[in-house]
Amino acid sequence: MKYLLFFALIMSLKAETFTPIPLNNELSSYEKVAIPFDNITLKKNWKTRIEAIKNVGIIPLIDVESSFNPKDFNLINYAKTMDDEGIAMIAFSAQIGEKAYEKESKLWHDSPRNLMSADPSRYVPTSTAGTYPAWTKEPENFIKESIKQATLQHYLLLGEFEFRHYLSPRQYKRNEYYRDVNIPIDSPASHLLFKFANEFGIPFQIHYEIEDELFEPLEKMLQLYPKAKVIWCHLAQIRYSEKAKKYDPKLVRGLIERHPNLYFDLAFGDKDSIYKPSNEFQSRIWDRNTGKLKPEWAKLIEDYPYHFLTAFDIGGDREDELKNKAISSREVLKSLSSKTQEIVAYKAFWKLIFNEDY
């Protein structure tokens, strides 16, 4: 009987359209909205959408960290899948391709303005992703342009900056070694970013591999810029265990207690995900016997729920993973209490962005 009720609920969700579906698939077919963004109206749109999803008995998900290829993005399919899976919003960060960078010397992509014109209820305007090639080749210029545009356009969130980043599993298969990035977290570019966030309160994301030798420089930056809201992406994603012998829930707990403006996203591989270069399970947060989070990690999230945020980590080369990412995020939530599920799924994001409880 319980299964039938659950099945009926899911079927009713999949038939629901919570906000209007875009009429055109092509992002470039929409005129850019005026700037600065009308964040008051956007906030109302987002709350309306969250409440619509809640009203059918589903916990809304907000994805705090993903990026997309503006030239190859299917607006209608994404809108339908988001409604099917109870996804309220995605904080999409545009990627600058290598050809665009080389031909046009691009340090910024303005596609969030098209996205806000096409579908303002489903997306959160997020600054251009700090990835190869623009960020890795011109880190200081990239940060300066990001600060300029974020200030001019009133962005609420800055995209993920890759400071220390190993090859992704897909890039390893393709031998794309340019993604092995190492920009020191205390570099001049980083100081520009942290200083801006410290002064203006706009959160930003970092990809910063978990390695023992990298903890101290990060903590020094957090001490130097105590008001900077930093989202450290991919909790407990360790790709080389011999380089991360100190990392555990106790260490993360200490970081949160010392640095109240440090946050973590919950985008990581499933319990069976193996990182091929090291041939190790890369997500150390799972108990592979039970399929749930290890109790000590779940306890950490329960104790500090507003420091952890749902994230999908979609990229321009894997935009077809939206449904699976939503399913995986709900698997993570199953290990948490009902109250904490609500916080991690969308309330923590709301408080981080708007400095108010949902």
Count of beta carbons in the 10 Å neighbourhood of residue 177? 9
Please provide the DSSP assignment of 155-178 as one string. -SBEEEEEEEEPPPHHHHHTT-GG
Place of tokens 């190790």: 280
Q: What is the pLDDT of residue 167?
A: 87
- Residues 267, 273, 279, 283, Cα dihedral to 10°: 40
pLDDT at 171 (0 to 100): 79
Q: What is the pLDDT of residue 50?
A: 98
DSSP states along 256-269: HHH-TTEEEE----
Mean pLDDT, residues 16-38 taken together: 94
**What's the start-to-end Cα distance of the chain, in Å?**
34
Residue 7 pLDDT level (bands cut at 50, 70, 90) = very low
Cβ–Cβ under 8 Å, residues 286 and 270: yes
Q: If one looks up domain 2-354 in CATH, what number appears?
A: 3.20.20.140
Beta pairing, strands 87-94 & 286-287: unpaired
* Residue-range domain boundaries for the chain: 2-354
* pLDDT tens sequence across 122-138: 999 999 999 999 999 99
Task: Report whether 218 contacts 262 (CB < 8 A).
Answer: no
Read off the pLDDT band of 262 (50, 70, 90). Answer: very high
